[in-house]
Every structure is written in structure tokens, then in C-alpha cells.
Amino acid sequence: MRIAEIHLTPVAIPDKPLLNCKGVHQPYALRTIIEVICDDGTTGLGESYGSIKALEGLRRAAPALRGLDPFHLHELKSRVAAALPEGGGINARTAVADHKLTDVVTSAFEVPCMDIQGKMLGRSVGDLLGGAVRETVPFSAYLFFKFGAHIGQDKDEWGEVLTPDQMVREAKKMVADHGFKSLKVKGGVLHPDLEIETMFKLREAFPHHPLRIDPNGGWTVETAIYVARRLEGVLEYLEDPVAGMDAMAQVAAATSIPLATNMVVLEFDQIAEAFTKRAVKVVLSDHHYWGGMRASTHLGKVCEVLDMGISMHSNSHLGITLAAMVHVASATPNLGYDCDTHYPWVGADVVEGAPFVFRDGALAVPRGPGLGVTLDRIRLAELAALYEVAGVRERDDTLYMKQFDPGYERRVPRW
Ligand code: GKR
Ligand code: MG
């Protein structure tokens, strides 16, 4: 069996005006839906970024994969590397971190290949990753400060969230809707004292929920140490308080709160430095940029050996990505934290039915075969049509923020 055809469909998904230290989410987030079709008709599904560089990389690598055996994942990696010799990073200037094009493209095609393998064998992707060690995967509520509405639109169902009390209200709704058992706040948005107050108010409202805050490197070392000291005993972990490995090491040395990251450890080459400098205690995996689902479970092993924890990162995404995340999480024995997901913010999908309903904050591992999700062609066509009219081709939270506040400048660290 060989790969015969590959279809790449960029889609736009409606998003909410969620705030972070670089600005605000645009009305649409971009993704690419990947279909890999073998000569016997077996089809594998994948989902990756929808930015210009990612899409271009996928388009350039796809022809090189024709004729590939979908079980030959090492060869997949070599063919991608050969098709994209200049490599490079894929992210826009305003992104929080840069990811290697070759890792992103390899991963984007590894997922459909493993979906195909599972379909051929009648086994789930989790089984191919070593077997699920848990039947359900717990997620945390991903809480954002936010504007009440996009420019020119009516207020959304979440309303404005710009104060600690409004954040507690948002958290209550998230928990009531999905049953999450831990809470993550996207910080770096309000003055640090207000974000500290937010965490205290969340602690009061949710005495037993582990709490995290992630300002995406938006604080200075001084601010981060101040915040960490105030929040000792309150946080489960503090994610990327500052930008850069040395700055993380300085903060880590000043607090007993474990520091987590998806910004200073993004690839295997960076783990040794983080370990030596004691900069990070928890690494967030993400199969989209760690080089695939298998690489993500390998990351779990590396973290175990180094006595680091492992958690899981997210960006705005659809159900194919979520299926892959759940399979990876199910087959990462030492995953010790509830995973991140933006899924509750995204009111759309390209998969059939509603396979992902959170119960007590957790998702059941799809049974497969393969990823265990089916493409809904009508939904795909709708989101592909939206991409054509959305007028967004690159994520730029800072540019969009300037429409709300013309004086806004991108500043990292901001506080
Ligand atoms: O969606 O605004 C966002 C997040 O800030 C996202 O872009 C980050 O990649 O969720 C992410 C994180 O944990 O840093
Ligand atoms: Mg993060």
C-alpha cells in the first residue's frame, strides 16, 4: 500500500477576542486539514497550522510523499527534510515562539499516516503509540481575559472579561459547562497585581482546583519573582513567566513553584540546556511542533529520565488535532498534568457528529480504528469557504489589537 494522493484544505474557524500579552485573537483562527489517500482508497486525516509558511511547507512536501509506504515514518521524515532543504521557522513575527518547518510538516503528515496504519490494522492510534494507559484524558479550563465582542460584532456569550471578578465568572461557566478540574489563566494581560488578585479569587472560588498562569514571557525577571513569591502555595505551576532560558533559570532559582514551558523548550536540542540550568521543571508537549505523536511520547520518556514533568500545550484547533492530542496523552504514562485545549472556545469542527464531549473535564479516548474521527465534508466545505472570505492569512494578534487601541504597541516583556 502506498500514498497516492494528498489533499490540503486551509480552513478558517471562528474565534473569540481572547487576550494575551501580544494582543487579541482575530475573528478567525487558521488551520489546514490534511487528507492522505492510499492507492487502495484508505484515507488518513491530519490537521496542522494554517499560516502561510506552514501551508507552503505542506504544499511543497506533499508531492515528495507520493509512493511512500504509510508505515515508513523515518522515510517520511527524510523525504520532508529533502523537500524543504532550507528548513527554517514557520511562525509570524508576533508569535510567542518559533517552530521548525521540517518538524511541523513531518508531524502534519505523520498523523494521517498513523491514522491509515490504525485503519489497516483495526487498532487505535493510541495502540500504535504503545497502548493507552488511561481511558480518559483530563483537560484544564483554558481561561482568557477577553473583550466582549469583535470589532463590528455583537457581544458574544462570554461577554467582557477584564477584571478578577469577571474571570471568576468565566471560570464558573467553563467548569459548569465542561466539568474541568484544573484552571489555567492566560496572563500577561492585566497589571500583575490584578492577575495575582485573579488567582487568589479563583483559589477562593475553586479551593481544590490546581491553578496555573501563563503570561507567555510577558513579565520581567523582577516582576516574575514578585508574582511567584505572592503565589507560592497557590499555583500548581507557573508557565513561561519570562522569555529566554537564562531568565527562566533566574526565576526558577527564586521560587519553589515549578516552572513550565512551551516557549524555551520547543525541541529536543533544548532539553539539555534547560536541565543543566535548572530553568524548567515541566515541559509542555505538542505533537504539531515536537515532530509528531511518536516524538511527543518520546519526549515523555526524556522528561521521566530527567525527573521533569510533562504537560500538553494547545493552540486554537479542531477535532482532528484533538483526537491526536487525546491519543498521545493516553499513551504518555508520565503525563502528570491536565492538558491544555482551546477547543471549548471554538464553536465549529470538521469531524462528524460530536465525538468530544468533556465529562468531568476529561475526554474519552476515541476507540479508533486510527484516530477514531471521520471527516464531515459539509463542515469542511463551510470552513474552507470561510477561509476564502475571512480576509486573514496570518495570525497577528498585535495588529488586530491596534483596531481596539490604536496606541497599542507589542512589548515583551510588557510588565
Ligand atoms: O491562544 O493566545 C493564545 C495562546 O497564548 C497561545 O498562542 C499559546 O501558544 O496557548 C499557548 C501557550 O500556552 O503559550
Ligand atoms: Mg504556554
Q: What is the pLDDT of residue 97?
A: 77
Q: What is the pLDDT of residue 88?
A: 84
Q: At what angle do helices 73-83 and 52-61 cross, to 10 degrees?
A: 110
Q: How far is the CA of 18 from the centre of ligand 1 (A)?
A: 10
Query: Which residues are placed with Cβ below 5 angstroms of ligand 2, an ion?
Result: 214, 239, 262
Active site residues: 186, 313
Q: Which ligand is nearest to the CA of 214?
A: 2
Q: Virtual CA dihedral for 370, 371, 372, 378, nearest 10 degrees?
A: -120
Q: Which ligand is nearest to the CA of 96?
A: 1
Residue with the smallest CA separation from ligand 1 atom 7 is 315
CA distance 147 to 404: 9
Other C-beta atoms lying within 10 Å of the C-beta of residue 129: 18
Report field, pTM of the whole predicted structure over 0.95: yes
Q: At what angle do helices 52-61 and 101-121 cross, to 10 degrees?
A: 60
29-80 residue pLDDT tens: 999 999 999 999 999 999 999 999 999 999 999 999 999 999 999 999 999 9
Task: For the chain, give every residue range classified as CATH 3.20.20.120.
Answer: 127-364
Q: What is the pLDDT of residue 108?
A: 98
Show the ligand 1 pocket: residues with CB < 6 angstroms. Answer: 18, 20, 96, 186, 214, 216, 262, 313-315, 340
Query: Phi-psi region for residue 250, left (φ > 0), alpha (ψ -120 to 50) or beta?
Result: alpha
Task: For the chain, give every residue range classified as CATH 3.30.390.10.
Answer: 3-122+376-389
Q: What is the pLDDT of residue 269?
A: 95
Query: Phi-psi region for residue 253, left (φ > 0), alpha (ψ -120 to 50) or beta?
Result: alpha
Q: What is the pLDDT of residue 304?
A: 98
Question: Which residues of the chain, if any, have pLDDT below 70?
Answer: 93-94, 96
Tell me the CATH class for 127-364.
alpha beta
Q: What is the pLDDT of residue 96?
A: 67
Q: What is the pLDDT of residue 90?
A: 80
Atom of ligand 1 nearest to the CA of 240: 14
Q: What is the pLDDT of residue 94?
A: 65
CA distance 139 to 361: 6
Q: Which CATH architecture has domain 3-122+376-389?
A: 2-Layer Sandwich (3.30)
Q: What is the CA radius of gyration of the chain?
A: 20
